[in-house]
Chain A
């Protein structure tokens, strides 16, 4: 790897003669990597849930977990791009809702691939507008995407006539249920997307510029990097991927509802943050985001298996997110010493 964006400044492997060199250097080095700690947390959660519920570790349930990861997982990729630049995209849920309606309406007239392209194009266009308002006009990302969130949801209701579009061509469900080597199509897509995003952020010029912009935009500009283009791109990616994510929802339900994607932004942001990204930008990895998504979905899945009331699930998930971050902060502070 040509860069090592997750190395915490205070916790670099060259921290010099550290004080408590009690643990083996390999373990220490591994523990300094945030993804490794979060992966450990994911495993702990998995073990606890499998002890609490005999159904958790079944093949069906594991595929369930992957299946439930697809929508939030796809959106979280775009969100990672945005958060790496130091921005935030609150509009992803509403954009998903609007693009689902665009897809549903389009499929009444055009073939499936064209419909998907139109939906993704609509999502990307919304992202382009948000990105330009943020990067070119210098408006706050929080405010712009908050406004876009309201606009997109309102347009979704208007375009759909306040009702779900249910006459979706059944062929669309093929993207979910066609399996490759025994793995469902939507999961294959998710994994391929993560591999692609990882490669882009690590080996492509654009990916490295995104890190540089998020880490120190002024230095990036002064070094002659194309700051504007790569400040806007993440919002375009985020918008387009919101559309792709909702396509999988629509394909599963064969129905497009203007309410789709409600609160999706919260799950996506939580997954990215649990995955170790800094909301100030410049720090985070796509692998971390994948682990974050899995943690979120596993918890939700486990609570369902345990029969916890949906009304209590919100409290449980919120508490676990905050606890996870708190523990992480304490651990990383110790590892830095």
Chain B
């Protein structure tokens, strides 16, 4: 860990901050104390108020109450500009780029508001500088318009934009959500440099391993309150963190009913093959069985939401075959998809689901209204079914007829939207980030509902960026990356770290793909990259020279050791080549780690046993050198034990 100077006075102190939106209490006594020269983790479950507190500090949101002092002077920023001028910058979670402006213009957007002349050449030089610090001077064309960038690229521009301000306090609100592991490494290197220069950095994240890797101290929030104030990271265990974040009662949140094993799988209810809906969806295939929850995993921008929208007729498809209960379907608009038996809970509730001028009850009846044939509304015939759903989902019956749905909490709104689809008894229900902005208690009940309806025979497709939720809820996970489905695995074989690696964008896999190709070619062998865990493995990539022996692995799939042709080598994991007893092949396994100490799995090289053996130590050294990112300054952190 970086040395946090304990004696320096705090740079920023916030205490008793309160904020209420409509009727939702986002902050109820939040506080934060920042010292110069530290990276301060701000943690909490979804909806704990991390983002709201960040936005208060950055001038995006005015607090109702509370005291904030910056460098010992009262601080009250009524706008992002005021906050920037006072010395607080932010990297927003949802990117706030101007889509029509170029990368350079976006990076220096805050400066465009200043009077005086701009020197285009100087801005370009500075932009190139900043991006080079992030290790991305080549990957990001300066003159590209922001609308053409990928999610990860947009996030990088957002980071560069904040760095350009060079403010003493810099807030990173979930900056790594759409970044691949190597990009995270570069970002951490930059953060480390800023820390050494005396900046105070706030790092908002729910990826605990990242929190342990980069922060000096952490503040933990729960339900709008600060529950643990500025605790040294080194003094905490992962279990401590989780306990603070969720309170005690949530150990059972993902608990499966019954014995914990997924129930027997039914027939395939929805099959998708080669779905293509450019630009976001390139080639996606998956199958959903009756009664199972299928998770669609991946990073932000991997094409998960777009896949769901393409299935539901909200986005034109250019190729692909969709089969529902054995019948080929091709819905061109949602009304057709609904008639066929699909339901879709979209990601952006306010924009895609809620109708604010209709009553809550009518919002619940909205999909019914679309499906209803007749001149009237047909509401009366549905009365009993609606009342049953209201009771089943625990919605307040007395608030259904009157009042605006916007006055409901996010969780209640989501329940209404889910009920909207359940009323139609769909064959398949697709849910995109169903617990975004939903409080913890309601999340647990939404999980229970999803399990119930799956058990009743509905095929449930769950999209979630919260890997913990995805793993806890899904029976199987299909991983999407850059618009392609690249893996289909039982969730019991996965954990968050493996899922993160699988989900990395193709561009950041280029290095390993090139390495595998190179190894296979140079040694006339098969090369593969796998995560090995106990007696099983997940293959991430492979390459083979002509005539080389086949280790029996396919990328994106999980294997037990005995299912492969190299069980002995997998069991031994020795330093040198291991011969299989049947004499089929010899395999060298090399563990690889990122410069930061992240476990990146193993690179395997499988040779014909009769072929000349290269020097094992030499091959291993070459592999390790090739897999370590060349990010600047990563050595400083890479050496730190954590």
Chain A nearest Cβ from B432, distance in angstroms: 11
Provide the bound-state CA to CA distance between A8 and B407, in Å: 11
Verify A221–B377 contact, CB threshold 8 A.
Answer: no
Verify A225–B370 contact, CB threshold 8 A.
Answer: yes
B113 within 8 Å of A (CB atoms): no
Verify A14–B407 contact, CB threshold 8 A.
Answer: yes
Verify B334–A221 contact, CB threshold 8 A.
Answer: yes
Which of A87-95, A98-106, A205-213 lies at the interface with chain B? A205-213
Provide the bound-state CA to CA distance between A16 and B24, in Å: 12
Tell me the nearest residue of chain B to A220, going by C-beta. B355
Chain B nearest Cβ from A56, distance in angstroms: 37
Among A10, A14, A203, A282, find the residue whose CB has the most chain B CB atoms closer than 10 A. Answer: A14
List which B407-444 residues lie within 8 A (CB) of chain A: 407, 420
A4-B402, A203-B377 given as contacts; is B358 within 8 A of A212 (CB)? yes
What residues of B have a CB within 8 angstroms of the CB of A218 in the complex?
Answer: 351-352
A2-B362, A212-B366 given as contacts; is B403 within 8 A of A7 (CB)? yes
A153 within 8 Å of B (CB atoms): no
Verify A226–B335 contact, CB threshold 8 A.
Answer: yes
Verify A204–B377 contact, CB threshold 8 A.
Answer: yes
Provide the bound-state CA to CA distance between A218 and B350, in Å: 10
A21 within 8 Å of B (CB atoms): no
Provide the bound-state CA to CA distance between A25 and B335, in Å: 42
Verify B376–A205 contact, CB threshold 8 A.
Answer: yes
What residues of A have a CB within 8 angstroms of the CB of B314 in the complex?
Answer: 221-222
Which of B337-345, B523-531, B604-612 lies at the interface with chain A? B337-345
A204-B377, A205-B376, A218-B352 given as contacts; is B357 within 8 A of A224 (CB)? no
A330 within 8 Å of B (CB atoms): no
What residues of A have a CB within 8 angstroms of the CB of B333 in the complex?
Answer: 221
List which B333-388 residues lie within 8 A (CB) of chain A: 333-335, 337-339, 344, 346, 351-359, 361-362, 366-367, 369-372, 374-379
Chain B interface size, as a band, is 35 or more
List which A221-270 residues lie within 8 A (CB) of chain B: 221-226
Provide the bound-state CA to CA distance between A3 and B407, in Å: 17
A215 within 8 Å of B (CB atoms): yes
Verify B401–A4 contact, CB threshold 8 A.
Answer: yes
Verify B357–A282 contact, CB threshold 8 A.
Answer: yes
A216 within 8 Å of B (CB atoms): yes
Verify A222–B401 contact, CB threshold 8 A.
Answer: no
Provide the bound-state CA to CA distance between A219 and B403, in Å: 19
A208-B362, A220-B366 given as contacts; is B357 within 8 A of A5 (CB)? yes
Provide the bound-state CA to CA distance between A16 and B402, in Å: 13
A169 within 8 Å of B (CB atoms): no
A221-B314, A225-B366 given as contacts; is B407 within 8 A of A12 (CB)? yes
Verify B356–A224 contact, CB threshold 8 A.
Answer: no
A203-B377, A223-B366, A224-B337 given as contacts; is B355 within 8 A of A216 (CB)? yes
B65 within 8 Å of A (CB atoms): no
Verify A216–B354 contact, CB threshold 8 A.
Answer: yes
* In-complex Cβ contact of A9 among B374, B406, B420 (8 A): B406
Verify A223–B420 contact, CB threshold 8 A.
Answer: yes
Chain A nearest Cβ from B551, distance in angstroms: 46
Residues in chain A within 8 A of chain B (CB atoms): 2-5, 7-10, 12-16, 203-206, 208-209, 211-212, 214-216, 218-226, 282-283
Residues in chain B within 8 A of chain A (CB atoms): 22-23, 312, 314, 333-335, 337-339, 344, 346, 351-359, 361-362, 366-367, 369-372, 374-379, 399, 401-404, 406-407, 420
Question: Can you identify 5 A-B contacts, CB atoms within 8 angstroms?
Answer: A7-B402, A205-B372, A208-B377, A224-B370, A283-B357
What 9 new A-B contacts, CB under 8 Å, besides A3-B362, A209-B369, A211-B358?
A14-B399, A212-B366, A221-B333, A222-B312, A223-B420, A224-B370, A225-B366, A226-B370, A282-B357
